[in-house]
Structures are given as structure tokens and as C-alpha cells.
Structure 1
Amino acid sequence: MSLKKNVVTTLITYLIIYLLPTVLNLFLHLGGHIYLIQTIDYIIGAILLSYYYWRTKERPLIEAKADKGYQILWWGVLGFIAALAAQILANYIDTFLFHSVPNSVNTTTILTIIKSYPVYLLATIIAAPIMEELVFRRTIFGSLVPFTGKVGAALIASVMFAMAHNDGHLLVYTAIGLVFCYLYQKTGRIQTSIISHMLMNAVVIGISLWR
């Protein structure tokens, strides 16, 4: 698979996976079953996007100099800490300057679902981070770098990432997205930002459930 075909296929597949549960619910009125459907849907999406990734021999320029395996884990953990710090700082700025409500509607909704449907953890901690990193970082950010430069591409991809979460905390999710973009371009491995993203979701959800 060529890189251009990978980009188109990845974006179309993600859009279908993202919208499918909502469309099915409109016609089938799934009720609480929608969360099981969404979990399965996201897992299938993560598998498909990963398959496209491995089938593509041509690599983006960012991956020209890829770090070794052990560095991926190291940067993945550091990236998680940096993303968490970016979230806290952006949340403070968001609250101080724009008087936003500190709590994320997106996170609150996810926690409510998980308490009733624990299987949804698979969607939020594993499947969603894999898909979002392959789409927003590797596909969108990676594809835009040759045209807009790293800074411009990172801003565009991160704002799109924030808009996809659609909970009013645009600055917070943009800041997190910028950290993930940095990790990807720094190591040349999308696995790095995937690890950071998974860790962040797991820790935020874990802490919230523990309270």
C-alpha cells in the first residue's frame, strides 16, 4: 500500500468507525447496548488502522530516522508526564482566562459509561488511543509537515484532535495534542505517542474511578 493510499484509507475508515454507532442507534434504538457496540466498533477500527499501518511500506518523512525499541518506551513514559503537565497547565489557563468549567464533559461521560459498562475501558484505554494517534498524529500531522512545516502541521492536527473531543476544552486538548505531535516527530515512531496516550487515559480514568 502506498503512503497516499494509506492516508485516504485511514481517514475514510476512521470516519466510518467514528459515526457507525450513532447511525446504528438512529435506526435500531440500541439503548445501553450502544456502548458494547461502540467498544467492538472501536476495537475493529484499531485493528484495521494498525493493519493499514503495517501494510504500508512507504513511510512519512518524520519516520526517516526512527528511534530504537527501548527508546519508544522511555519517551512514551516521559511523554505521558509531559501531556499530563500540559493538561493541568492548559486547564488552569482555560479556567483563569476564559472562566471555563474545570471538569471535562467528555471525561465525565466516559466515567459514567464505564461504571455501568466496564467493557468500555477497552475502547477508551486501548482502541481509541491507537486510532487517534494513527489518524491525528501519523496521518494528519505527518502528511501536513511537508506543506506547512512541523509547527503549522502540529497546530492543525492538534486543533482537529481537540474539536473531535467536542467538550468545550479546546485549549486543553490542543495542548495534549501538541505534546503527542512532539513525541511522534522526536522519535519517528507512532508507538511512542500511542503509549503516552494510553497511559494518560488509563491514569486519568483510574484516578477518577478511585475517588
Structure 2
Amino acid sequence: MSLKKNVVATLSTYLIIFLFPALLNLFFHLGSQIYWIQTVDYIIGALVLTYFYWRTRERPALEQKKVASRQIIGLGLLGVVAALIAQFVANLIDLFLFHSIPSSANTTTILTIIKSYPFYILATVIAAPIMEELVFRRTIFGSLVPFTGQVGAALIASVMFAMAHSDGHLLVYTAIGLVFCYLYQKTGRIQTSILSHMLMNAMVIGISLWR
């Protein structure tokens, strides 16, 4: 698969996966069954996008560098701390400048679902981070770099990432997205930001459930 075909396949598949549960619920009123469907839907999406990734022999310019596995893991772990700090700072700015509520409606909804349907954690901690990193970082950010430069591409991809979460905390999700863009371009391996994204989601959910 060529890189251009990968971009088209990745974006179109993600759009279908993202919209499918809501469209299905619109016609069949699934009730609580939607969480099973969404979990399976996200897992399938993550597997399909991963398949597209491995089938694409052509690599974008950001992935041309050589990097050791320990650097990917090390930066992936440090990236969790960076993402949490970015989230904290962005929340403070949101609070003092825009007087927004610190809590995230998106996170609150996810926690409520997980408490009743624990299997949903597979969608939020594993499947969603894989899809979002392959889409927003590797595909959108990576594809825009040659046209807008790394800063412009990171801003566009991160704002789109924030808009996809649609809970009013645009600045917070944009800040997190920028951290993940940096991790990806620093190592040239999407596995770095995937690791950070998974661990961040796991930590936020784990700490919130522990309270």
C-alpha cells in the first residue's frame, strides 16, 4: 500500500468507526448494548488501522530516522508526565481566562460507563489511543508537515484531535495533542505517542476510579 492510499484508507476507516455506533443507535435504539458495540467497534478499528500501518512500506519523512527501542519506551514513559503537566497547565489557563469547569465531561462520561461496564476500558485505554495516534499524529500531522511545517501541522492536528473529543476543553486536548505530536516527531515512531497515550488514559481512569 502506498502512503497516499494509507492516508485515504486510515481517515475513511476512522470516520466510519467513529460514526458507526451513533448511527446504529439512531435507528435501533440500542440502550446499554451500545457500549458493547462501541467497544467491539473500536477494537476492530484499531486492528484495521494497525493492519494498514504494517501494510504500508513507504514511510513518511518523519519516520526516516533510526531510533533504539529503549528510546521509544523511555520517551513514551516521559511523555505521560509531559502530557499530564500540559493538561494541568491548560486547565489552569482555561479556569483563569475562560472560567471553564476543570472537570472533563468526556472523562466523566467514560468513568460512569466503566463503573457499570468494565469491559469498556478496552476501548478507552487500548483501542482509542491506537486509532487516535495513527489518525491525528501519523496521518494528519505527518501528512501536513511538508506543507505547513512541523509547528503548523502540530497545531492543526492537535486542534482537530481536541474537536473530536467535543467536551468544551479545546485548549486542554490541544495541549495534550501537541505533546503527542512532539513525541512522534522526536523518535519518528508512532509507538512512542501510542504508549504515552495509553498510559495517560490508564492513569487518569485508574486514579479516578480509586477515589
**Corresponding position: 1:178 with 2:181:** no
Partner of 1:39: 39
- Partner SS state of residue 205, structure 2: helix
The one-character-per-residue Cα deviations of 1:96-116 (angstroms, maximum 9, x if unpaired) are 110000000000000000001
> Structure 2 CA distance, aligned partners of 1:169 and 1:66?
36
Match runs of 1:70-85 below 5 Å? 70-85=70-85
Partner of 2:107: 107
Match runs of 1:1-211 below 5 Å? 1-211=1-211
Greater shift after overlay, 48-57 or 65-74? 65-74
> Structure 2 CA distance, aligned partners of 1:136 and 1:66?
22
> Structure 1 CA distance, aligned partners of 2:179 and 2:70?
20
> Structure 2 CA distance, aligned partners of 1:70 and 1:149?
28
**C-alpha displacement of 1:27:** 1.2
> Structure 2 CA distance, aligned partners of 1:129 and 1:67?
22
Greater shift after overlay, 158-167 or 20-29? 20-29
Contact 1:87 1:172 in 2 (8 A): yes
**C-alpha displacement of 1:66:** 3.6
**C-alpha displacement of 1:133:** 0.1
Where in structure 2 are there 5+ consecutive unaligned residues?
none
- Paired residue type of 1:19: L
Greater shift after overlay, 65-74 or 1-10? 65-74
> Structure 2 CA distance, aligned partners of 1:190 and 1:160?
18
Q: Could you tell me the TM-score, scaled by structure 2's length?
A: 0.99
Flag as ranges the 4+ runs of structure 1 deviating above 6 A.
Answer: none
The one-character-per-residue Cα deviations of 1:143-198 (angstroms, maximum 9, x if unpaired) are 00000000000000000000000000000000000000000000000000000000
Contact 1:183 1:193 in 2 (8 A): yes
**C-alpha displacement of 1:68:** 1.5
> Structure 1 CA distance, aligned partners of 2:70 and 2:25?
43
Greater shift after overlay, 62-71 or 5-14? 62-71
CA RMSD of aligned residues (A): 0.5
> Structure 2 CA distance, aligned partners of 1:107 and 1:21?
19
- Paired residue type of 1:157: A
> Structure 2 CA distance, aligned partners of 1:178 and 1:66?
22
Where in structure 1 are there 5+ consecutive unaligned residues?
none
Q: Could you tell me the TM-score, scaled by structure 1's length?
A: 0.99
> Structure 2 CA distance, aligned partners of 1:86 and 1:34?
32
Contact 1:79 1:180 in 2 (8 A): yes
